[in-house]
Each structure stands twice: as structure tokens, then as C-alpha cells.
Amino acid sequence: MRFFLSVAKVTNVAMVFLLVGVAFAPAGCQRDSDGKLVAWGKKKSKHHKKIVVPPEVAGTVAEVASLISGGDAPITGTGIVVGLDKKGSSEVPPTAKRKLKAYLTNEIKLGRATYNLESVTPEAFLNDHDTAAVSVDAVIPPGAPKGTRIDVAVSALPRTQTTSLAGGVLLPTRLHWDVGKVSENKYLKSLGWAEGTVFVNPFLDPTNPSDAPRYRQGVIMNGAKVVRDMPIRLELRKPNYHVCRTLQKRINERFSAPGRKIAVAKNRYNIEIKIPPGYRKNYRYFLKLLMHLPRTSGPAAYEARAKRVARAMLRPGANHDGLALVWEAMGKSILATVQRMYSSKNQAASFFAARAGLRLGDKHLAGPVVISFAVKPGPHQLLAIKELG
């Protein structure tokens, strides 16, 4: 009996300490069985809120991967503008002068009898007030393929007496990574070449002193050509060899040219992407198609997917542009489903279906529908005009 009484006392004491411990425990939170903090007084929900994937994303490349293109690539170079009608300058900073003299000798071939330029030395060329040493800057957009044309900013070098670049012509100038604007230590590889006539704002007032510095700056529209493909890759959100191989296969089935793979899986989470030759002049559109490409293929799967997109087009708040891109990514095989939407009473569905059809080559049926949107005022008029070019 004493033994049981002792046990009872111990048990009572333990219960007291347990209750006291609970009473003075931190009121904010406690740990659940998973070791995660749960708000005190709230039960852990057994049913997590389901994430709803938009229909234009569900089942596509974008659902499982992100497009990584490295961002904008700032490039720069030092060049020479000629034909300035004595508005140039003979002053050139020493470092730039060494580079430009080497450029004039090796690239322009000044001082070479072969080109009848033996009487013109690099020194004399730079001292001529018809010339000016300039900084040349441009930005290569993400994923731009070789051959892309980009605008160029040209400005007279500091501490020079150049008064105007208007009407001058930039000699071919090599452009490389702007090491002052990139976070990584890049090699100074040539990424572009720039040349052409410099355009200065025609609305500047030559009698206004505040406008004088702006005559030393100009632009060359489409003045540079990219000479290297900018890297693009798909990165899986969850590394998986099978998914990587599936994406590689699907992308190559849809976009690859004979003997040229567009997608190459490098490991279980990265896929290298090349811009197909047919999309080089419109590579941004290709990247949109790439991300909206369904991960399943086959006639039955495609037809079912095309019909689901058509139904989604009619729902309130639908992302018509994104849904139409799914159709466009699938290609001409689903055109019959798209054509049935041309006559939809839903104006947005009708327009975006017709636009998709036109992009898929259906000029005979889709063309008149897009034209009808272009000639009448409405929310899709400007888009229709832009699509018709």
C-alpha cells in the first residue's frame, strides 16, 4: 500500500510540474511532430491548399522549368568617328591612343602601300580635326543569337575638344564585355561590331549653351551586329533526368532542323537551347513558344489539349495571349480546332484564335478575321494592326 501511495505522490508531483511547464511555456508557438513551428492554439491543417496552375502553363515546359538567359549583356569599345568637318579633336587619352593606333595599323591598314595608305600614319589620322575618338556602347538583350542587330550609343571621349558628332561615320569598332558593368570576371571576347552614321538629336539648339554637351553624343540605329550566340538554357525546378530527357525530345521534335539539335540535356537539371535558324530574326517569339510547348505529344494528346485550350479561352479572366501561344507552340496539326474559334461570340477568343491561325499559316480563313478587328475600333484593334504589319 505504501508503495502505491508513493507512486501516487510521485505521479501527482509529475503532473504538477507538467501543468506548470505547460502554463509557463512560450505562448507563441510549439513544435509539431515534424519539427516545424506551429502557431500555439492552432491545429496543423491536414489539407494543404492546392496550388492551381493556370491552363496556359499546366502541362507545358514552363510548369517544370525556368528560362535562364543571363540577362542583358553590356558591351563597349573605343572607336573613331570620321567626317566631322573640323568639329572633331586631336586630343586622345594615352591609353585609348595606344589602342586606336594599333587598330588603325592592324585593322584599317593605315601606312600600308597595299591599300595606297602609306602616306597616312595613325598619328596623323588621329591628329586630324575631322576625326574624334569615341566611346561606343550597346546592350545585347537576353538570348540574342548571332547576327542580331542592336542600337549603339556613341559619345566623344572625356577631356577632348570635339564639339559635335552629327553626321560623322563610325569606323568598324570591335565591342566586348563591359567589365565595369558585369559582376563576373569575363574574358574580353568580341561580342559585336559597330559601324555607321551617327545620329544626333535634330531638335538641339546650337545657340543654347546647355545643349552643347549633347552634340557630343549620338546613336546609330541598328548599328551593331552580335557576333556570338548569347547562352540560353532551361533549368528544371526539381532536378530529374527523365524530365530533362523528355523536354529535350519534345523540343527537338517540334523545332529542330535536320542535323541540328535545338535542345541538349547537359545533366539532370540543365538543358542547353539553341535558336533555330528560322527564328533568328524573331528569337523572342521562339522563346515564348518554347515555354508554352506541351510536354506530351501524339495526335490524340494534342487534339485533347487543343480542345482544353479552346474551352479555357471562353472562361472569364482567361489569359488569351498565353493560351493562344500554347496552340502556336503545338503547330499546324491542331489548326482545325483553332479555326472553329474564329467565329466565337467571345471577341477576345475570336481574335486570339485568328491570330494564332494566321501565325500557323492559315491566311485564307484567319486573315480576314484579323483584318476585321484591325478596321473597327475596339480593344484588339492595335494588336490586329500590329499583327498585320
Q: Within its chain, how far is the Cα of 267 from the centroid? A: 23
The domain boundary residue, chosen from 226, 258, 283? 226
| Percent above pLDDT 90 for the chain | 74
Name residue, grid cell 549653351: 209
pLDDT for position 260: 84
Note down the domain range covering 219.
73-226
- Structurally, how many domains does the chain consist of? 3
Q: For residue range 281-318, list pLDDT tens digits in order.
A: 999 999 999 999 999 989 999 999 999 999 999 999 99
Distances (CA, A) of 87 to 84, 161, 203, 351, 370: 5, 8, 19, 54, 52
In this prediction, residue 382 has a pLDDT band, given cuts at 50, 70 and 90, of very high
The domain boundary residue, chosen from 211, 226, 241? 226
The answer on 165 and 80 residing in a single domain is yes
Q: Which residues contact 239 (CB under 8 A, 6 or more apart)?
A: 267, 268, 269
Higher local confidence (pLDDT), 281 or 49: 281
207 residue type, one letter: T
Residue 128 lies in a domain: yes
Q: For residue range 96-110, list pLDDT tens digits in order.
A: 999 999 999 888 877
363 residue type, one letter: K
The answer on 258 and 174 residing in a single domain is no
SS3 for 355? helix
Q: For residue range 128-148, list pLDDT tens digits in order.
A: 999 999 999 999 999 999 999
Kindly report the average pLDDT of the chain as a whole number.
86
Q: For residue range 169-218, list pLDDT tens digits in order.
A: 999 999 998 765 544 444 457 899 999 999 999 999 999 999 999 999 99
| Cell (9 digits) for 67 | 528560362
Residue 284 lies in a domain: yes
SS3 for 252? helix
pLDDT for position 34: 33
Q: How far apart are CA 320 and CA 268, in angstroms?
A: 33
The answer on 137 and 103 residing in a single domain is yes
